[in-house]
Structure 1
Amino acid sequence: MSNNCYLLQCRSTGEQLLVDAADEASTLLPLIGPDGLTAVVTTHQHWDHHRALGEVVAKTGAEVLVGAPDADAVTEQTGVPVTRTLSDGDTVSVGACSLSVIAIAGHTPGSVALVYDDPAGHPHLFTGDSLFPGGVGNTFGSSEAFEQLIEDVATKVFGRLADDTWFYPGHGDDSTLGAERPHLDEWRARGW
């Protein structure tokens, strides 16, 4: 599935957080290294975003954080208990750094994105499968889910964050909100 995983490390404390233990613990664990892992945030309940969760958590003892509406499904699919459920406006700490949680329903009911507002630069947004260069994530033919997703992305992401925000999706290339903002109306008209 060519998923993206993101390993974030606090420069002050060395603590680390993984966004999506998508696959291949044998690749992820050497990257995590001896410093260990504080937490894994699973951006949503789809199997391709948590295939390595069990092994990564077993080896590191990391907490498991999942959007509240997706938490039971992640545990059911992986056998890994969720340590903490996430809701819109929550914060996730990694060392001295703090990331804000944006709940973005539509791709799944409990999809979450994380924002790190870098005090020395621009914001960084980890979007899972809710936002990609060229559009929002798949809603599998549901017009209701698409309306929820496009509305959440328009108001909670583009309505809140500046154009210089760099975003990192669950698959494929990254982009900036400034590069994508002019296309919001096209995406809405296109639908899924």
Structure 2
Amino acid sequence: MSYTGDVVVGGPTQLRVLDEIEIRKVAVGPMTNNAYLLTCRREGAQLLVDPADEPERLLDLVQEGSATARLDDVVVTHRHADHHRALPSVVAVTGADVSAGAPDADAIAATSGVVVDRRLHDGDTLAVGHVTLEVIALAGHTPGSVALVYREPAHAPTPGRAHLFTGDSLFPGGVGHTHGDETLFAQLFDDVTTRLFDRFDDATWVYPGHGADTTLGAERPHLAEWRARGW
């Protein structure tokens, strides 16, 4: 089955196999959150993005990527509880480290009861085996929201395609919710514009925290519309 990014709660995993890494996507309820498992094909290291809910389903996902159920790191993209309800169970079973944006780390720890081992800042890197992910801070939806970017190896003269895991900061059709706060919207819109759209090309694939995937090319023509409407 070719990867589309279309998943439903209770449905099967979507799998994308790249040269260096495998990306698995599932939806978990009750708020139809997306969770992503990244597996280094060479070393078997694994990282889970947003342990949102249904810990048994997420632990099954980890085992889909590794017969030994290895999980090295869990990244929580932001402090909202619907993105880390399964964190205590997943960490208790796997012993994985936990990483989150520094401004959100204390709130995540207080809500989940799980210590955040690494506080992430813009430009930090995370290793998944021999694969490197870069942290991109996107303040606005929450103060410490982060995205992760993985870039495929370049094949000259073509740069490698980028893959963005954006949490609730960027979706098909707009940036994340800022609850009508003009200042927060401006911060998020500016961060998304300068740190994502100005940096990465149209082929860049976007894996959001809810719903369908998209590309920067599909969304780029609408940036002026988003700014004008203020959400």
Q: Establish whether TM, by shorter chain, passes 0.5.
A: yes
Tell me how far 1:122 sits from its aligned partner: 1.3
Letter in 1 for 2:217: G
1:36 aligns with 2:70: yes
Secondary structure of 2:33 counterpart: coil
Give the corresponding residue for 1:63: 97
1:81 aligns with 2:137: no
Which structure is higher in helix share?
1
Alignment partner of 1:152 out of 166, 179, 191: 191
Q: Which runs of 5+ in 2 are unaligned?
A: 1-30, 155-159
Give the corresponding residue for 2:6: none
TM score, norm. by length of structure 2: 0.82
CA contact (8 A) 1:16 1:36 kept: yes
Question: CA separation in 2, counterparts of 1:172 and 1:59?
Answer: 28
Give the corresponding residue for 2:56: 26
Give the corresponding residue for 1:7: 37
Give the corresponding residue for 2:210: 171
Tell me how far 1:35 sits from its aligned partner: 3.3
Q: Give runs of ≥4 in structure 1 deviating > 6 Å.
A: none
Secondary structure of 2:136 counterpart: strand
The size of the alignment, in residue pairs, is 192
Question: CA separation in 2, counterparts of 1:93 and 1:20?
Answer: 17
Q: What is the CA RMSD across the aligned residues, in angstroms?
A: 0.8
Question: CA separation in 1, counterparts of 2:51 and 2:152?
Answer: 24
Mapping of 1:81-120 within 5 angstroms?
A: 81-119=115-153
Question: CA separation in 2, counterparts of 1:86 and 1:40?
Answer: 12
Give the corresponding residue for 1:49: 83
Secondary structure of 2:188 counterpart: helix
Tell me how far 1:140 sits from its aligned partner: 1.0
1:185 aligns with 2:219: no
CA contact (8 A) 1:103 1:112 kept: yes
Secondary structure of 1:40 counterpart: strand
Secondary structure of 2:100 counterpart: strand
CA contact (8 A) 1:14 1:35 kept: no
Secondary structure of 1:9 counterpart: strand
Question: CA separation in 2, counterparts of 1:3 and 1:119?
Answer: 29
Give the corresponding residue for 1:129: 168
Secondary structure of 2:61 counterpart: helix
CA contact (8 A) 2:69 2:94 kept: no
